[in-house]
Structure 1
Amino acid sequence: MASSKLSSSEIDYEAIPAIALNFSVRKKLGLYLNPTNTVASDWTDIAERMGFTYLEIKNYEKRESPTQRLLDEWQTQPGATVGKLLSFLEEAERKDIISDLKDLIDENCRKYLEQPVQVPVVDSGHHDRGITVNDGHVPEMFDAFICYCQSDFQFVHEMIKQLEQTEYNLKLCVFDRDVLPGTCVWTITSELIEKRCKRMVVVISDDYLDSDACDFQTKFALSLCPGARTKRLIPVIYKPMKRPFPSILRFLTVCDYTRPCTQSWFWTRLAKALSAT
């Protein structure tokens, strides 16, 4: 197995999930790997090393950038790390790609490492003083964490009305309502998603795509999957979007409120998904 560390870097690439690589890096990887090349290995070689089947690879050929689509699918698998991707490239004798993109890859990895998601243990002091308004001797637990940006808060209010104040009787974690002020946003968010909430609802909109907080919450939840404690993410669209749906969530079934023909089933479907064991 080729080394997953570049000699001039102290970054442990095996500890960094593939979702840390941004659109710019994925696009450049596509520029190298998309063209069919009789001399050097292309994206199909990498796909085989990732474990994709012949039929899956043939279907990816129809995509505008099969490399980017490949990465979107592969990053959801166990052990999908930057280190593993670098190993695949080395095994395929594409060290030219690693060399050319090294600085960009390192920059992405460092940005990921700067996020508090890397802190493995949340300060136990939070349990003593509480982090949510209803915390007591036993930490408050929730059916779902709601990931949203402020411009979509009106829809979150409707979600509270439909899911908490009806026969579904679900308990949602809405940051602006449930979290006590004066706590570290990133650390508390991590604890709520990982330890206090069974599911996570992601309210997708054009503004969501520009939210650093939503980006962090989504990537943190994805970093927990698939693992011993599987976290089910449920993307929700409640109004038409002008921008593309986020690629890191395309493998998940969407709950779409914008379709009139299925709107009457929307809340029932969402409630049952949140109630599933």
Structure 2
Amino acid sequence: MACAESKVDLETVPLTALNVTVRKKLGLYLNPRNAVAADWMAVAEAMDFSYLEIRNYEVAQNPTTRILDEWQARSTDTTVGKLLSILMKVERSDIIEDLRSLIDEDVRRYCENLKKRGSDPPLQVPEVDSCVPRTPERNGITLEDDPEGSPELFDAFICYCQSDFDFVHEMIRELEQTEYRLKLCVFDRDVLPGSCVWTITSELIEKRCKRMVVVISDEYLDSDACDFQTKFALSLCPGAQKKRLIPVVYKPMTKQFPSILRFLTVCDYTRPCTQAWFWVRLAKALSLP
């Protein structure tokens, strides 16, 4: 892509050209809920985000930045020009007028850097990218892996903290050792020691497991590992389009249920009247294509 000094076609300039300052200022205009002017929700709708996705982004500290990042990740042709067109469509030309000088400066710097590199800009990745294993670290990471052959695959990754391990054992008995014959990925049982936890976890969640069961408890809310796993899985499937995450509550909680999962249907083991259906419902959800 060539950027002429005199005139730049913003439809050819990728959204990555916009730096942090512009993105933050966009948030200052769009984040506040506004009964008169269009806010970030109207912009997200114009970007073709679904109703459930938009409701999910409400919990974000800066929803404008979140939708820009998600929009940019979804397609290789999100451009500065398309963003300005959307702002015009939702009748926020005031934002364009106020930020145009900053946007033009970001585009100018982007074009200058592009000329210095003497090459086309890198392609934008259309999804959260842990991709096919690229390093030996991602080969042979589970007990049944064949480093020279196909990786071991699972029906579900189990996200849990150590204090909930007794319930995980019960889950193994009910889902793996019965007629359901599901294959669960339990980190302490299935993953070989010695590699980076975060790299292996992202590989398993994205590439090896069809779904993720999140065991919710008070202790879960304090676990950095569980927080990372949950947010990573949510980023792979905004709006729960593929029923990728299944929250499970197996004991009463004293703390508030995590807000990032509040829009998902919960499998609740704490209600005696529905316990008889608990494992059937969970097994059915994990067995879906």
TM-score by length of structure 2 reads 0.62
Aligned positions of 1:221-260 closer than 5 A: 221-225=233-237, 230=242, 232-260=244-272
2:155–2:211 Cα contact (<8 Å) kept = yes
**Hey, what does 1:122 align to over in structure 2?**
133
**Hey, what does 2:222 align to over in structure 1?**
210
Is 1:164 aligned with 2:190?
Answer: no
1:72–1:247 Cα contact (<8 Å) kept = no
What is the count of residue pairs matched by the alignment?
225
Aligned CA distance change for structure 1 residues 264 and 90 (closer, same or farther; 3 Å)? same
Deviations 1:162-184 (A, max 9, x none): 11122212111000111000011
Aligned CA distance change for structure 1 residues 177 and 271 (closer, same or farther; 3 Å)? same
Deviations 1:36-89 (A, max 9, x none): 4x5x54577557646699xx8xxxxxxxxxxx95734999xxx94447599599
Q: Give the greater-gyration-radius structure (CA).
A: 2
**Hey, what does 2:32 align to over in structure 1?**
33
Q: 1:122 is matched by which residue type in structure 2?
A: P
Q: 1:125 is matched by which residue type in structure 2?
A: P
Offset at residue 138 of structure 1 (A): 3.2
Q: 1:154 is matched by which residue type in structure 2?
A: D
Aligned CA distance change for structure 1 residues 71 and 162 (closer, same or farther; 3 Å)? same
Offset at residue 33 of structure 1 (A): 2.4
**Hey, what does 1:132 align to over in structure 2?**
142
CA distance in 2, matches of 1:161, 1:269: 16
2:30–2:40 Cα contact (<8 Å) kept = no
Q: 2:259 is matched by which residue type in structure 1?
A: S
Q: 1:174 is matched by which residue type in structure 2?
A: V
Partner secondary structure for residue 234 of structure 1? strand
**Hey, what does 1:106 align to over in structure 2?**
none
Deviations 1:208-245 (A, max 9, x none): 22222112111221222269x95621111111222222
2:175–2:181 Cα contact (<8 Å) kept = yes
1:146–1:203 Cα contact (<8 Å) kept = yes
CA distance in 2, matches of 1:192, 1:70: 24
Aligned CA distance change for structure 1 residues 190 and 10 (closer, same or farther; 3 Å)? farther
- Out of 177, 185, 188, which is 1:176 matched to? 188
Aligned CA distance change for structure 1 residues 254 and 90 (closer, same or farther; 3 Å)? same
Offset at residue 132 of structure 1 (A): 0.7
- Out of 204, 207, 216, which is 1:195 matched to? 207
Deviations 1:91-132 (A, max 9, x none): 536759x99xxxxxxxxxxxxxxxxx655453342465x111
Aligned positions of 1:81-100 closer than 5 A: 81-82=68-69, 92=92, 95=95
CA distance in 2, matches of 1:70, 1:201: 19
1:72–1:248 Cα contact (<8 Å) kept = no
TM-score by length of structure 1 reads 0.64
CA distance in 1, matches of 2:49, 2:152: 42
CA distance in 2, matches of 1:206, 1:90: 42
Partner secondary structure for residue 134 of structure 2? coil
Aligned CA distance change for structure 1 residues 81 and 239 (closer, same or farther; 3 Å)? farther
Structure 2 portions without partners, runs of 5+ = 1-9, 73-79, 100-127
**Hey, what does 1:9 align to over in structure 2?**
20
Offset at residue 161 of structure 1 (A): 1.3
- Out of 155, 180, 183, which is 2:167 matched to? 155
2:154–2:210 Cα contact (<8 Å) kept = yes
Is 1:219 aligned with 2:218?
Answer: no
Deviations 1:140-197 (A, max 9, x none): 2111100111121111111111111222121110001110000111111111111211
Aligned-residue identity in percent:
61
